[in-house]
Amino acid sequence: MAKILIVDDAEFLRVRLNKILDTEGYEVLQAENGSKAVSTYKEARPDVVLMDVTMPEMDGLTALKEIVGFDPKARVIMLTALGQESVVLEAVKSGARDFIVKPFEQDRVMKAIHKLLS
Ligand SMILES: [Mg+2]
């Protein structure tokens, strides 16, 4: 089964996503900031990354760029907030494959992941 890396500094959100993905049968990894996301990506090579934008230590855009620099085929979905349109634009230019606006429905997350894995 595919491996998904959840990156968000909000623990409740990681827990929520972990539950959803675990129920769907995915192998789930978590990171609470961008720099941990980059090191976990290099180590574990997840199939899909769900990446928050605003995080301490290293933000999601920087982590996205480092991950895509390391693996141009990386599939990264950005988790954005309303009003972060400029971030979305830069993320897409930097290689993000999709973005999901918070708060999101479970169904939206699953569709985005299925699309990238198919
Ligand atoms: Mg955050």
pLDDT above 90 for 59? yes
**pLDDT score, position 4:** 98
- Determine the residue type at 73: K
CA of 10 to the centre of ligand 1 (A): 6
- Determine the residue type at 25: G
User: Which residues have their alpha-adjacent CB atom under 5 A from ion ligand 1?
Assistant: 9, 52, 54-55
Rounded percentage of the chain residues whose pLDDT exceeds 90 = 96
Band of residue 1 on the pLDDT scale cut at 50, 70, 90? confident
Looking at every residue in the chain, the average pLDDT score rounds to 96
pLDDT above 90 for 57? yes
CA of 71 to the centre of ligand 1 (A): 24
Q: What is the C-alpha radius of gyration for the chain, rounded to an integer number of angstroms? A: 13
> In a 10 Å sphere around its CB, with 0-12 CB exposed, 13-18 middle and 19+ buried, how is residue 7 labelled?
buried
Instruction: Write the CATH number of the domain with boundaries 3-117.
Output: 3.40.50.2300
> In a 10 Å sphere around its CB, with 0-12 CB exposed, 13-18 middle and 19+ buried, how is residue 24 labelled?
middle
Sorted by where each begins, the domain ranges of the chain are 3-117
pLDDT digits 0-9 by tens, 93-103: 999 999 999 99
Cα-based distances in Å from 79 to 84, 99, 106: 10, 6, 13
Band of residue 12 on the pLDDT scale cut at 50, 70, 90? very high
CA of 79 to the centre of ligand 1 (A): 9
User: Does a cis peptide bond (omega within 30 degrees of 0) precede residue 72?
Assistant: no
47-51 mean pLDDT:
98
Quick one: which of 7, 82, 15, 5 has its CA closest to 45? 5
